[in-house]
A = this chain, B = another copy of it.
Amino acid sequence: MDGVALPRGFTAHVANIGIKDDTDDFVVIASDRPCAASAVFTRSRFAGPSVELSRSHVADGSLQALVVVSKNANVATGPRGLADARELAAGVAAAIGGRVDDVLVTSTGVIGRPYPMGRVRAGLAGLQAPFTGTDARAAAVGMMTTDTHPKTALATLTTSDGATATVVGLAKGVGMIEPDMATMLAFVLTDAGIGRRDLDGAFRRVVDRTFNSLSVDTDTSTSDTAAVLANGAAGPVDPADLEAALDVVCLDLTRQLAADGEGAETLLVVRVSGARDDAQARRVAKAVVNSPLVKTAVHGADPNWGRVAMAVGKCSDDTDIDQDRVRISFGEHEVYPGAVDVTTLARLEDYLRGKEVHIGVDLGIGDSDWTVYGCDLTDGYVRINADYTT
């Protein structure tokens, strides 16, 4: 998606400050006024100082800017790491003339190395507010680590005054992705006007159905952050309309993140229905989407539905799951129970060769359902991750 403009009132500064190489690695996005804001973070016990600081900054429901340092996570860096994160926030606040505690600090990349602070300070010195950047895609590029392409998404809605408000999403992340609260980094910016409490409720509900339903490799980052900033420049909106627009943007980003999982060639969508409750549906769906044997079968276009049965069976604490009531489908084809003839097998192989594969599991217990998003497991994933730091 080329040329997505930031919502009115938002501008971006995107630069290379030499964190690792000569690609863009320093992004600041600021609003011309304080915004209603909400954010969710990783629950990791090794969460970095960026997360610690940002959690406290967003606690009052207000933010004005966010800064991203990519290719260094500033995690497991001790007291020095926290001091560096504070200095980063202070530098951004000074540049835009805002409050330090209205700055969200985020960082992803290698763990265990301090920031090269000389370069970070030079980067801060280069900030000239107001920024001139208005292209969301350029900002998303600056956030990338091993992403193969930037991820942006757009939705619009109508304000109470009949004007058009826009919702723009930016995300990055390809590995170490099974968000527990949010994916790697995902930012949603809007000029819609909404109260802090309404925004927070809507965003948390949306994140649960989108970023929290995404898994690339079961590994949870130390840096996951998802945030929304609403500056109200377009005028007030109906909170339900904004929630619908947030849902469109976050689901779009979630699918892009899954499809661009490290080494991924296929977007895998698993929907579990007929569950006792949402939690069960999600637990079973995660077991399927995370199974390396299911993921490799999808990669090999192997219609080995027995592996889906195996993954469902792994949920052994769900004693109400009865293999005689379970139904399994690949796309439109039901594969269990019942025999799969040779013609169907051939059709299934064709189906599995597509860019997007849907696996359906009906538990036959209740009427709750949940959908999760993942990707196949390829030798590309192994290659990328067997040689990352060096």
- Residues of A in contact with B (beta carbons under 8 Å apart): 42-47, 73, 75-76, 78, 110-112, 175-176, 180, 217-222, 290-293, 296-297, 299-300, 302-307, 309-316, 318-319, 321-324, 326, 336-337, 377-379, 381-383, 385-390
Q: Per a CB cutoff under 8 Å, which of B76, B296, B318 touches A45?
A: B318
Q: How distant is the Cα of A312 from the Cα of B76 in the complex, in angstroms?
A: 12
Question: A297 contacts which chain B residues (CB < 8 A)?
Answer: 385-386, 388
Given the interface pairs A111-B307, A382-B299, A386-B299, the reply to whether A222 lies near B180 with Cβ below 8 Å is no
Given the interface pairs A110-B306, A306-B110, A336-B76, the reply to whether A313 lies near B385 with Cβ below 8 Å is no
| Nearest CB of chain B from residue A209's CB, rounded to whole Å | 20
The secondary-structure label for the interface of chain A is loop
* A309 and B389 within 8 A (CB): no
Question: A324 contacts which chain B residues (CB < 8 A)?
Answer: 78
**Chain B residue at minimum C-beta to C-beta distance from A317:** B43
**Identical chains bound together, number:** 2
Interface centre among A47, A292, A300, A378 (most CB of B within 10 A): A292
* A221 and B310 within 8 A (CB): yes
Q: Top 7 nearest A-B pairs by Cβ distance?
A: A111-B306, A300-B386, A46-B313, A44-B313, A296-B385, A43-B316, A379-B379
Q: How distant is the Cα of A219 from the Cα of B386 in the complex, in angstroms?
A: 22
* B219 and A314 within 8 A (CB): yes
| Nearest CB of chain B from residue A104's CB, rounded to whole Å | 21
Q: Per a CB cutoff under 8 Å, which of B46, B300, B310 touches A44?
A: B310
| Nearest CB of chain B from residue A137's CB, rounded to whole Å | 28
* B302 and A387 within 8 A (CB): yes
Q: Per a CB cutoff under 8 Å, which of B73, B218, B219, B310 touches A220?
A: B310
* A323 and B46 within 8 A (CB): yes
| Nearest CB of chain B from residue A114's CB, rounded to whole Å | 9
Q: How distant is the Cα of A324 from the Cα of B314 in the complex, in angstroms?
A: 35
| Nearest CB of chain B from residue A344's CB, rounded to whole Å | 13
| Nearest CB of chain B from residue A274's CB, rounded to whole Å | 14
Question: A309 contacts which chain B residues (CB < 8 A)?
Answer: 46, 75-76, 111-112, 222
Question: A337 contacts which chain B residues (CB < 8 A)?
Answer: 76, 78
Given the interface pairs A45-B313, A78-B337, the reply to whether A217 lies near B293 with Cβ below 8 Å is yes
User: What are 6 A-to-B residue pairs whose CB atoms are below 8 Å?
Assistant: A45-B314, A45-B319, A46-B326, A112-B306, A176-B307, A293-B385
Interface centre among A221, A302, A315, A386 (most CB of B within 10 A): A386
**Chain B residue at minimum C-beta to C-beta distance from A387:** B300
**Chain B residue at minimum C-beta to C-beta distance from A377:** B382
* A386 and B306 within 8 A (CB): no
Q: How distant is the Cα of A76 from the Cα of B326 in the complex, in angstroms?
A: 10
* A45 and B323 within 8 A (CB): yes
